[in-house]
A and B are shown apart, each in its own frame.
Chain A
Amino acid sequence: DAKTTQPTSMDCAEGRAANLPCNHSTISGNEYVYWYRQIHSQGPQYIIHGLKNNETNEMASLIITEDRKSSTLILPHATLRDTAVYYCIGPNDMRFGAGTRLTVKP
């Protein structure tokens, strides 16, 4: 099962792009990478997932390196409401680490 590594915290200015990295060097060829976020003490919210191609939806973009050992979640125009903990997880054991605490500042 893939294990993921993320920075503990990041800051981003409001209106700028927030780029959140994740290392998943042990991921296997058929494992998707999933991203979730947790705002304050609410339940985690699904954001996006991907296998090998870059993905985009209404919430974010996901860039996966060609070797699939890392990925970056991009919030193109961060707002104060994007302040949250962001989790990058492998699919097959659904173990959430501490994630990255993103703080969007005015």
Chain B
Amino acid sequence: NAGVTQTPKFQVLKTGQSMTLQCAQDMNHEYMSWYRQDPGMGLRLIHYSVGAGITDQGEVPNGYNVSRSTTEDFPLRLLSAAPSQTSVYFCASSRQGKTSANYGYTFGSGTRLTVV
């Protein structure tokens, strides 16, 4: 059981480039979400999904797109990278709905993105 897998682990982009951060889970979790964490700060919710075909915005969605075509995958797309998007990105999943009363959330190990 791999849990939540994020790729790549590290990435350097030039301003204006686009890229997709990958997130996959093998636990058949319905709920998935993306967070960003800036140095010394807490996590901020970017986008989330309560199931395949359903996505919604979190606290800081601007500059990011998501889609959820399968239960397993929840990619995060940066449309035109900016230095302000330099951050560590975490993907998380949960067993049911927006919260899981019994299992909590499982997080990936993160993608460290630098935009120059």
Interface residues of A (CB under 8 A from B): 32, 34, 36, 41-46, 49, 51, 87, 91-99
Tell me the count of chain B residues lying within 8 A, CB to CB, of chain A.
Answer: 25
Q: Does B65 contact A (CB under 8 A)?
A: no
With A36-B104, A87-B42 as given contacts, are A44 and B98 in contact (CB-CB < 8 Å)?
Answer: no
A48 to chain B, nearest CB (A): 8
CA distance A36 to B43 in the complex (A): 12
A47: nearest chain-B partner, CB-CB: B104
Task: Return chain B residues, CB-CB under 8 Å to A96.
Answer: 35, 42-44
Task: Name the CB-closest residue of A to B109.
Answer: A43
Q: Give complex CA distance A46, B29 in Å.
A: 15
B65–chain A nearest beta-carbon distance, Å: 20
Across the interface, which residues of A come within 8 angstroms of B78, CB to CB? none
Tell me the smallest distance from the CB of B48 to a CB of chain A, in Å. Answer: 8
The answer to whether A46 touches B106, judged by C-beta atoms less than 8 angstroms apart, is yes
> For the complex, is B108 an interface residue (Cβ under 8 Å from A)?
yes
Expressed in whole angstroms, the Cα–Cα distance for A38 and B110 within the complex equals 12
Q: Which residues of chain B have a CB within 8 Å of any CB of chain A?
A: 4, 33, 35, 41-45, 48, 59, 88, 90, 92, 98-99, 101, 103-110, 112
> What CA separation (Å) do A62 and B48 show in the bound complex?
28
How many A-B residue contacts, CB cutoff 8 Å? 56
Q: In whole Å, how far is A67's beta carbon from the nearest beta carbon of chain B?
A: 21
Closest to B99 in A: A91
Q: How far is the CB of A9 from chain B (nearest CB, A)?
A: 12
Is A42 a contact partner of B110 (Cβ separation < 8 A)? yes
Sorted nearest first, the 5 A-B pairs with minimum C-beta distance are: A43-B107, A46-B104, A96-B43, A91-B99, A96-B42
- A32 and B99 in contact, given A46-B105, A96-B35 (Cβ under 8 angstroms): yes
Chain A residues with CB below 8 A from B45, complex form: 93-95
Q: How far is the CA of A94 from the CA of B4 in the complex (A)?
A: 17
Q: Give chain B residues whose Cβ lies under 8 Å from the Cβ of A32.
A: 99, 101
Q: What are 25 A-B contacts with C-beta separation under 8 Å?
A: A34-B105, A36-B104, A36-B105, A41-B110, A42-B109, A42-B110, A43-B108, A44-B43, A44-B107, A46-B104, A51-B101, A91-B98, A91-B99, A92-B98, A93-B45, A94-B45, A94-B48, A94-B92, A94-B99, A95-B44, A95-B45, A96-B35, A97-B42, A98-B42, A99-B42
